Structures are given as structure tokens and as C-alpha cells.
Structure 1
């Protein structure tokens, strides 16, 4: 393959990699927004919003790690031996990586849905709240992920988050005993969420590692046949 062709392929791949990374940066904007927009409220409403915010913010490290793993894999495509295989193999790898991230986004959303359902289930047990699901969802921060994927349309999630953080929260007071019990429940839910996210991220990392092996075993191997 001529040097000029190799150079052209290299430039094209680097542009594609940088574009992919730029697209993946957007999900991280959800978290600074949440940190800046936290309300100053009091009483039981503050306990609830704080618990939900902590769950949301705990996702940040998982998203960062996912993007970092994706970046490391895509950077392999800039290798001269991989580049020499031509665009077909590289394009397949890029599409595979995108699909793996999107699948991970579904798993992350499932983790949110689970903790969200469990949180409402616990709140619905408190008679003095008389909380319906419709009322809860007006300001429910965890629900912004329902039907969404942080790696596909983070803008939609950010817009939902903005609207829900602006919504007024009118909740009756509960007894100190109930507050203490719910704090314990919320801590357990956060632990469960972390376990769910860790499992999902581990699966993504394993899938990306396998794809990384394919870069060497297939794309680079294909290039070696042409030498």
C-alpha cells in the first residue's frame, strides 16, 4: 500500500476516533448540571432529594470509566498495522464499540429503574405521605432515565432533569422514626444500585476487551497477509 494511502487512512481514523470521543463527552454534562442545580430545601423533602441526587451522581464514575475504556480501544485503530487492513475491518470495530456502549446504557438505565421502583415502593408504605406514583414522578429525579439511554440521547435526560429539579416539592412531614428508617432504606438502595452498575460495567469492560482482541487477531492479522 502506498505511503499516501496509509497516511489518508490514518488521518481518517484519527478524525473518526476524535469524533466518537467528542460525542461520548456529552453524557458527562449531566453531572455538573446536577451539582449546580441542587435545591435548598428542608425536612423530609430534602432527605428524599439528597438520596436521589446521590444515586444519580454515583453514576458519574461508571460513565467516565466506560468512556475511558471506549477511548482506549478506539485508539488502537490508529496503529499502522491495523490501519493497513483497510477501512472495512476498522468500520466494523467502530460500529461494534458503539453498539456495546449503547447496550451498556440500557443496562445502566435498568439499574436506575430498579432503584426507582424500590424507592417508590418504600415511600408508598408511609400512610402520612399518601403518595401516588403520578405525584412522585413530578419531581422524581431517578425517573429521568426511564426510556432513555445516556450514551444515545443524554440531552433528553438533561432536559428532563432540569424540569424536574424546577418542580415544587410539597411533602408532609413524617416522624423522626420514619425519617431514620428511610435513611437506612435509602442507603441500602444506593448500595444495591452500585452493585448493579458495577456488574453492568464489568460486562461492558469484558466485551470491549474481547473486541480489542479482535482488533489484533483480525484487523492486524488481515494487514499482515498483504505484506
Structure 2
């Protein structure tokens, strides 16, 4: 009986350690936002508004990342319950692996939202001949483009470094007449709205998937343990 108790305690410690390591890795995803908030860029005119608008889009992702991590944490905390622990490591490992996979897949979906708004923003800006904007020039300062090919849950440091490099790039934009600038401001506001709708959809899918996985913890892992009582 003493050996069994020691074994159960060991499994509990190992499970908690594994869960904490996963969460610690994903917590790094939040580090890009304080960096962006602290960064200052001395520019003026429409260029200032353009970078500010992009910064607002990037910063709006913070709440989605935090909610995703919170949902993941709540699920992994279920694995420390005594009846779940009693099921043994096989079911627990499957849940941890499945949870990590779901979060990483959500990271791909979040990146797709950035890719879409980045492409649409360039398309809208390029409609105005006054800007004479090429894709190459746009990519030099596009904060939205730093997410291309990256996953915020896997590559947060790479994203942060690319973001800081873009913030350090010199932005030169012509002075626009008030009518053109007002039009562009409205267009960029609409793009942010579309981005938030995309993020809402992606986060809802992740939350639903994590909820289903949470139900499996009780229905399978905990139920498996009762068979041996």
C-alpha cells in the first residue's frame, strides 16, 4: 500500500511538472505585447497613423492569447485530480499531447488571421497612387507581416525579434490630402474589425475543442480509474 501511495505521488508530481512546462512555454507568447507597448517610434503624418493602426491590431491579439492560455491551464489542472491520476500515465499523456496540439493548431489559425489582414491592408493601400507603395516597401514596415510563417505559441521569440526590427525601420510616406487620409482611416478601421471577427472565430473553435477534451478527461481517464476500484 505504501509503495502504491508513493507511486501515485510520483505520477502526480510528474504530471504537474509536465503541465507547468507546457504552460511556461506558452506563457512566452505573451512577451511580445509588453515589448510593443514599450517601443516608441518617432515618425509623423500618415506614416504615424499607419504604424499605430497596425500596432493596435497586433495588441488586440493579446486578450485572445491570454484566454487561450487560461483555457489550456484549466484543462491541464484537471489532470491533477485524484481519480484522473489513478487512471495511470497513458490517458494523461494522451490528454496533454492532444491539448498541446489543439493550442498549436489555434496558433496557425491566429496566424492566418494576420496573413489575411496583412494582405488586405496592402491591397487597400496600393489602391492610392499618392502612396506609390510597392510590396517590398510595405513589407519593410508591416508589423502584421511578422507573423507570416510563424506560430505565436511555438515561435514567440522569433516574432518578437521580427517585430522590433520592423519598428526600427524608417517609414517614409507622402503627405496625403485630408480626404484621402480620412478614407484610409476608415478602411483600416474596417480591416481591424474583420481581423477581430477572424480571431473570435478561431478562439471559439479552440475553446470548443478544449471543452470537448475536458469532457474526455472525466469520461475516459476518470472513468477508467473507477474500473480498478
Q: Report the aligned-residue RMSD.
A: 0.8
Q: Structure 2-normalised TM-score?
A: 0.97
Unaligned runs of 5+ in 2: none
> Which structure 2 residues correspond to residues 205-220 of structure 1 after superposition, within 5 A?
205-220=207-222
> Which structure 2 residues correspond to residues 58-97 of structure 1 after superposition, within 5 A?
58-97=60-99
Select between 112-121 and 33-42 the one with higher mean Cα deviation: 33-42
SS at match of 2:173: coil
Partner Cα distance (2:7, 2:124) in 1: 62
Deviations 1:194-221 (A, max 9, x none): 0000000000000000000010011111
Unaligned runs of 5+ in 1: none
SS at match of 1:174: coil
Number of residue pairs the alignment of both structures matches: 227
Q: Structure 1-normalised TM-score?
A: 0.98
Partner Cα distance (1:168, 1:132) in 2: 15
Which residue number in structure 2 is paired with residue 135 of structure 1? 137
Q: Match for 1:189 among 183, 188, 191?
A: 191
The structure 1 segments of at least 4 consecutive aligned residues displaced by more than 6 Å after TM superposition are none
> Which structure 2 residues correspond to residues 1-227 of structure 1 after superposition, within 5 A?
2-227=4-229
C-alpha displacement of 1:40: 2.8
Deviations 1:17-44 (A, max 9, x none): 1111111110000000000113132101
